[in-house]
Structure 1
């Protein structure tokens, strides 16, 4: 920028230009040195601040910004975040009824949040949604099973996709969803990106081995703004029969019914202290 700004102001005497060029080159070298010293977590913060500058419910950053943030997240390692596989977060305690999951809070503001989930073997983050949010997840180490869904909103039938059981059943309503991903992933692997309406906005994490997941949300959950975290139970397509909704036999495995749940006795998430590189809010 310094060079571009100087071009229109060039003077006829070359000697007057030389000091400006020298200063510009010096500043450029200093900037490059600063970038080399910048921690990956700081680079992540700076990029999130830029990409989510106009964050809001349902607002998806432009494709070029999505790619920029994806590349920054993809480059982050477990060590960059100050973590090691032998840390207690990743071990199962025999006295625990369910595997304890630790969340390391890195940063949160009204536009985005950054954090790391640490899971011991068999740890589960139950199926949940991300309403109106764009979510980046990066598996930092280990093997994890991910199952994700998108709501069915254009099902070719005369009946809505929301099904309310009869009063005699006394169960919450269920809604049809299509399975987006149902597979094991082992680090290193590409980050996953979930969008407000597609990409697998609802997902479940199950630790096949001890693992860690970097999570970036834009914008973060906010009850006052209607971005509630809702958990779900999932049922095979054949579990419910709904008039007007028919799926070919060979495609039924791709659809499931999701039902809101309130009882979360099968999960224990505790907060941990993030001990990685500090972030400078500039």
Structure 2
């Protein structure tokens, strides 16, 4: 039986991020190419679907049991997979919602805009302190653009590529992420939120400062109902 696109992405991500050696440029771009082939329907989302509930009736003719991409009223996270080495999931944002500036400490992140359009702003630290837990300093803007699907997947690294970024949904949109390693409070990889204060005399630069998680940030959960993934542990039985 032919593997689903999401199974192929899982297999490649597991092979890449579970190895002891640091991933090579070619290996990361192989995963990026697989990510680029994935569409909303490949993760169980009907991007144009309209229904009263985020999850349609499986017998419905229009959405065939898929999640309805236009029906989310809050930012919604669809958890696909997580292990100690990487995680996979989809953020669905209704038009007008903002996922504020946040970082990805010591993480490599591959992202694919599955549908819709979003304004993306991203910074890197200009001078990173030795602790790896910097909470205030000078940031240089590396992304400041409107992204509209279809769009080439992005790659950010622990210290480059826009590790601190935000999304503003201009239309209903969804972003598929592969993060390695995943967020973990226990292992010193929390998600930290930031405010940015532009420096008028230095175009493209801002002072970044840690802030509490915004009180109006609501992230709901929705079930993953795309093609099932057979994980490495399941292969062993």
Q: TM-score, normalised by structure 1?
A: 0.71
Indicate yes or no: 2:84 matched with 1:110.
yes
Residue of structure 2 equivalent to 1:68: 30
Q: Distance in 1 between matches of 2:69 and 2:171?
A: 9
Q: Deviations over 1:81-127 (max 9, x none)?
A: 1101225364478xxxxx51010000000000000001100111110
Q: How does 1:140-219 map to 2 (within 5 A)?
A: 140-153=114-127, 174-219=136-181
Structure 1 unaligned blocks of 5 or more: 1-33, 94-98, 155-159, 161-172, 239-248
1:137-179 deviation line (CA, Å, top 9, x unaligned): 000000011100000118xxxxx9xxxxxxxxxxxx7311000
Q: Is contact 1:130–1:227 with CA below 8 Å preserved after alignment?
A: yes
Over 3 Å counting, the alpha-carbon distance change for 1:92 and 1:79 in structure 2 is closer
Structure 1 or 2: more helix by fraction: 1
**Of Structure 1 and Structure 2, which has the larger fraction of its residues in strand?**
2
C-alpha RMSD of the superposition: 1.9
Change (3 A) 1:209 1:194: same
1:253 is aligned to 203
Tell me the TM-score normalized by structure 2. Answer: 0.83
Q: CA deviation at 1:266?
A: 2.5
Instruction: Determine helix, strand or coil for the equivalent of 2:29.
Output: helix
How many residue pairs match? The answer is 210
Counterpart position of 1:27: none
User: What SS is found at the alignment partner of 2:91?
Assistant: strand
Q: Which of 209, 219, 224 is the aligned partner of 1:274?
A: 224
Q: Any runs of at least 4 consecutive aligned residues in structure 1 with deviations exceeding 4 A, and if so which?
A: 89-93
Q: Note the C-alpha offset of 1:253.
A: 1.8
- Contact 2:17–2:86 (CA under 8 A) maintained in structure 1: yes
Offset from partner CA, 1:228-282 (integer Å, 9 cap, x none): 11000111114xxxxxxxxxx4xx1210111111141121101110100000113
Q: Any idea what SS the aligned residue of 2:19 has?
A: coil
> Which is greater in Rg?
1
CA distance in 2, matches of 1:43, 1:106: 13
Contact 1:100–1:267 under 8 Å retained in 2 = no
| 1:136 equivalent in alignment to 2:110 | yes
1:10-21 equivalences under 5 Å are none
CA distance in 2, matches of 1:232, 1:105: 24
Per the alignment, in what secondary structure is the counterpart of residue 45 of structure 2? Answer: coil
Does 2:19 correspond to 1:42?
no
